[in-house]
Structure 1
Amino acid sequence: GSRSTGVRGAAGLKKLDQAVSAAHTFFVANPQHLQMREDIEKYRRMSGVKSDNFRDLEATPHWEAYESGVQHYDADQYPQAVARLEESLTEALSALEECRALCEGPWEDEDEEEEMQPGLYEAVAGTHYIQVLKCRQQCVLEIATKPGRISATEDFIPSHLDLLQFAYDQVGNQALAAECAASYLLFYPTDEPMLEKMKQYRTQLGEDTDVTARESIQHYVQRSLMEKKLIYYAVEHLGGTFNDPDLWTPDEVIPENLKEKHSLLMPICTCFSTGPLPFEGIAVTMDSRRMNGTQRVVFDRVLTESECKDLLRLTKVRPGSCRRSYGYRARRSPHTPHERFEGLTVLKAVQLAQNGDVDWRDAKLLLQASEKSRKIIESYFTPGKKLHFSFTHLVFPVFWRVSSVPATWEQEGRMDLSHPVHADNCLLDPEGQECWREPPAYVYRDYSGILYLNDDFQGGGLFFTEMDTVTVTAEVHPKCGRLVAFSSGKENPHGVWAVSRGRRCAIALWYTHSQEHAEQVKNRAGETDSSTSKLDRIPPKEWPTSRRQKPGSDRTQHPKELRARDEL
């Protein structure tokens, strides 16, 4: 009797294992499926279910190895990280070759005439060859896109080398660390931190030691650059377009008359016109066309790494004293039981600076970053039409202690959304395929933006959907200095994936064309033009190493209608 019970129990566990694997496989390919998301969470809470049961039965080898390698890397398990990341890089390059091979074949042209005109064969052959090259170039996006995701992981191949360089350094293998650094510099030859590491390796290994990049990476970069040159030459002289998939493409490869188009990535077909950007060095990484929507865009290099670090200091201010003094209140997220959000407006930052809780320069930088973002969004979306601040909020989530789980920055396996799908100025009705622009929605908001300050966390990406709130159309991965902006209406439903490790810190920005609502919000929230003069009057001071002066005791809170929603 006991033996038969054990057999039935084993059979039951086997079926449970199969069910978990099947559910996980479906969810990986359909991450927007909310019912399956809930089922996965239930499985995680069941006794007898282990982390190994969550297998992707359709996982590609390089992605499986990559995610395993990154997990070991984040856990400071560098020997295991090296092994898995090397495996991932090898498999990724192999998958790239398979994809490139599929680009070759006969060219089918529905408009081709039965009898070829003189010289037409050569023209068709040339056009076909360029199409093959473009297809090959796009293969890097194919292998860099995780199954079930819309957007590719940026710098997928270079990121392997960056991680491997550090991991090899940590295990004491400076020779291979130097090799990975040299390989990475083929993509970004002016990267200062990596150049500094190369100097250190040469000193450690000896100046006479020959440090060269990997042959496989040299071949990859040289071949890619050759193809890019041919494609750009064809686009310049024969017309057409080319969406370069790589961020590392050198400027000298792009013809002068195509550089502006390349940097701005202007949409081919769109219902609105965009204006020039008011600052140099800012790149439009994705426009509406590439994000499969309308009036949405991603800018990079809005802030420098140094500016991001300075602003992040504002997120480390003592929250207790801030809450007591300025209504700097941690709010429990209505969307997930795991997080609460702390935030800081420009006025609060000024008040904290005046009382010695934060550096006045950091408070001023918050204002400058917000104003810079406003000018960029205004120039791009509404050139000639004034955009006013509706609300600005430096927001950073912290996690609640959940049952017996320790309150750390790690919550592996979280499947909930940090912010469910919504629109910013109307009430979304997925079933009716409508969005009602009426209170309690912030109906006066016209444009929204998020300026990211960091990327040292897992999850937390922004995604856009169709009106049904489940069909994902685009994803944006946070990084320092990245600004995502979009119109606030029903054309841009969006949500945010949960953060499973670390903290996502960003400046949330909302804008309005309404002068009336701009004045109302500015006067009550303190985000007036006089903020600049307030900041300029705060003298720099030597901050004591001991406990800083506590601010006063008055309490100020925003009126209910001015509260920033949890809608990054």
Structure 2
Amino acid sequence: IRTRHWRRLGTIENSFREGGDSRSRDTSWQRIITCAVLGVTGSLIAGFLVLHQSGDGMVVLAAQDETLDHRFYQVPCSEDYNNHRRFAGCTPRRCGRAVSDAVITRQEAEKMLRVAEAGFSLGGSDGGASILDLHSGALSMGKHFVNMYRYFGEKLHEILTEEDFQLYRELRLRIQSEIARTFNINASSLYLTKPTFFSRMNSSAAKTTHDEYWHPHIDKVTYGSFDYTSLLYLSDYSRDFGGGRFVFIDTVSNSTVEPKAGRLSFFTSGSENLHHVEKVQWGTRYAITISFTCDPDHSIEDPTWM
């Protein structure tokens, strides 16, 4: 991993002046050196185990059974950003990927899961991937999309409430602040951008290209406006579904974030973070993709209940 930093063990020189019991001094230093080496070695092994937990050779950046306050992996910024307009205090200068289980609570994620399930109960794709966009109203329906606000009208009031939208907005602001803090940028320079949406993935065979979520891609290339991408997971890898891990495609070894309800994963959107989602093998995977841009011309408003 390019972001792994191994500390080099320094040389401990044993220079004694004449006089005294040299054997005693040698024994004392030997114990100190042994303890130091064992301590550092233990730390290195612990770090190695954290990054090597997958049986298929995948480097695990965040395992489902871990609870992480904040974990950041820095990677060199790609040259993509040189080909786009730069925005002071926002365009990435420090690139990488981060994971936190401390920004959103599991209870809040469960509430968002109920919102997703309520929305998808109105439609859903015939294939393995369904989209629900509260901002534009886009909802997967068979092999197509409908605008749920126009299509269902007042019926939506029976399943989605203003409290649901309010929580959604609160979580978005919290995520925006965490991204700004991690990448040392100004939160007010970040703007919500499209597409920002709920996703539901299962093992159904793809019916259209919209269902083929597993292809590697770069968000900055695919969507243009993206500068920072975040995912809030609403279900648990290995409990609610199998497969479906988020995979960063790296030169030496691919690395993965295992979804966990309430887990926030976010990263800079350039080619330094080429990625894909594994095919879901069983069960149902829920998440929210919340995307941010530095360009105010590509900003969108928070969804409100009309």
TM-score by length of 2: 0.67
Q: Provide the C-alpha distance between the structure 2 equivalents of 1:137 and 1:388, rounded to a whole number of angstroms.
A: 38
32, 37, 46: which one pairs with 1:128? 37
187, 191, 195: which one pairs with 1:388? 191
Aligned to 2:282: 501
Deviations 1:63-105 (A, max 9, x none): xxxxxxxxxxxxxxxxxxxxxxxxxxxxxxxxxxxxxxxxxxx
Residues 503 and 443 of structure 1, relative CA distance in 2, 3 Å threshold: same
CA contact (8 A) 1:145 1:151 kept: yes
SS at match of 2:262: coil
CA contact (8 A) 1:463 1:472 kept: no
Per-residue deviation, 1:452: 0.6
Per-residue deviation, 1:374: 1.7
CA contact (8 A) 1:346 1:367 kept: no
Alignment of structure 1 residues 431-450 onto 2, 5 Å:
441-450=222-231
Aligned to 2:163: 361
Deviations 1:371-410 (A, max 9, x none): 221221123224226100012211112454689xxxxxxx
Aligned to 1:33: none
Per-residue deviation, 1:460: 0.9
Whichever residue aligns with residue 117 of structure 1, its letter is S
Alignment of structure 1 residues 333-372 onto 2, 5 Å:
339-346=128-135, 348=137, 355-372=157-174
Deviations 1:308-359 (A, max 9, x none): 22111122226474x5xxxxxx457xxxxx6132323246498778632323
Deviations 1:483-521 (A, max 9, x none): 111111111101111111111111101111101111xxx
CA contact (8 A) 1:425 1:442 kept: yes
Aligned to 1:459: 243
Aligned to 2:219: 424
Whichever residue aligns with residue 132 of structure 2, its letter is G
Per-residue deviation, 1:480: 1.2
CA contact (8 A) 1:298 1:482 kept: yes
Aligned to 1:305: 106
Higher relative contact order (CA 8 A, sep 6+): 2
Q: Provide the C-alpha distance between the structure 2 equivalents of 1:339 and 1:319, rounded to a whole number of angstroms.
A: 13
Aligned to 1:326: none
Q: Provide the C-alpha distance between the structure 2 equivalents of 1:517 and 1:153, rounded to a whole number of angstroms.
A: 31
Q: Provide the C-alpha distance between the structure 2 equivalents of 1:125 and 1:375, rounded to a whole number of angstroms.
A: 44
274, 283, 292: which one pairs with 2:69? 283
Q: Provide the C-alpha distance between the structure 2 equivalents of 1:517 and 1:142, rounded to a whole number of angstroms.
A: 36
Aligned to 1:150: 59
Per-residue deviation, 1:151: 1.5
Aligned to 2:15: 117
CA RMSD of aligned residues (A): 3.7
Residues 484 and 401 of structure 1, relative CA distance in 2, 3 Å threshold: closer
Residues 283 and 312 of structure 1, relative CA distance in 2, 3 Å threshold: same
Residues 499 and 506 of structure 1, relative CA distance in 2, 3 Å threshold: same
The structure richer in strand per residue is 2
Residues 131 and 343 of structure 1, relative CA distance in 2, 3 Å threshold: same
Q: Provide the C-alpha distance between the structure 2 equivalents of 1:109 and 1:305, rounded to a whole number of angstroms.
A: 41
Aligned to 1:516: 297
Deviations 1:426-477 (A, max 9, x none): 2xxxxxxxxxxxxxx432321111111110211111111136xxx5432100
Residues 422 and 360 of structure 1, relative CA distance in 2, 3 Å threshold: same
Per-residue deviation, 1:301: 2.5
How many residue pairs get aligned? The number is: 249
Whichever residue aligns with residue 505 of structure 1, its letter is Y
Q: Give the greater-gyration-radius structure (CA).
A: 1
Long gaps (5+) in structure 1: 1-107, 160-245, 248-281, 324-329, 333-337, 404-415, 427-440, 539-568
Q: Provide the C-alpha distance between the structure 1 equivalents of 2:103 and 2:33, rounded to a whole number of angstroms.
A: 43
CA contact (8 A) 2:203 2:279 kept: no
Q: Provide the C-alpha distance between the structure 2 equivalents of 1:130 and 1:136, rounded to a whole number of angstroms.
A: 10
In the alignment, structure 1 residue 373 sits paired with structure 2 residue 172: no
Aligned to 1:279: none
TM-score by length of 1: 0.38
The structure richer in helix per residue is 1
Q: Provide the C-alpha distance between the structure 2 equivalents of 1:302 and 1:353, rounded to a whole number of angstroms.
A: 33
SS at match of 1:420: coil
Q: Provide the C-alpha distance between the structure 1 equivalents of 2:121 and 2:101, rounded to a whole number of angstroms.
A: 34
Aligned to 2:78: none
Aligned to 1:178: none
Q: Provide the C-alpha distance between the structure 1 equivalents of 2:290 and 2:35, rounded to a whole number of angstroms.
A: 48
Further displaced range: 484-493 or 137-146: 137-146
The alignment-based identity, stated in percent, is: 21
Q: Provide the C-alpha distance between the structure 2 equivalents of 1:109 and 1:497, rounded to a whole number of angstroms.
A: 39
CA contact (8 A) 2:52 2:58 kept: no
Q: Provide the C-alpha distance between the structure 1 equivalents of 2:197 and 2:50, rounded to a whole number of angstroms.
A: 34
Q: Provide the C-alpha distance between the structure 1 equivalents of 2:46 and 2:121, rounded to a whole number of angstroms.
A: 52
Residues 369 and 126 of structure 1, relative CA distance in 2, 3 Å threshold: same
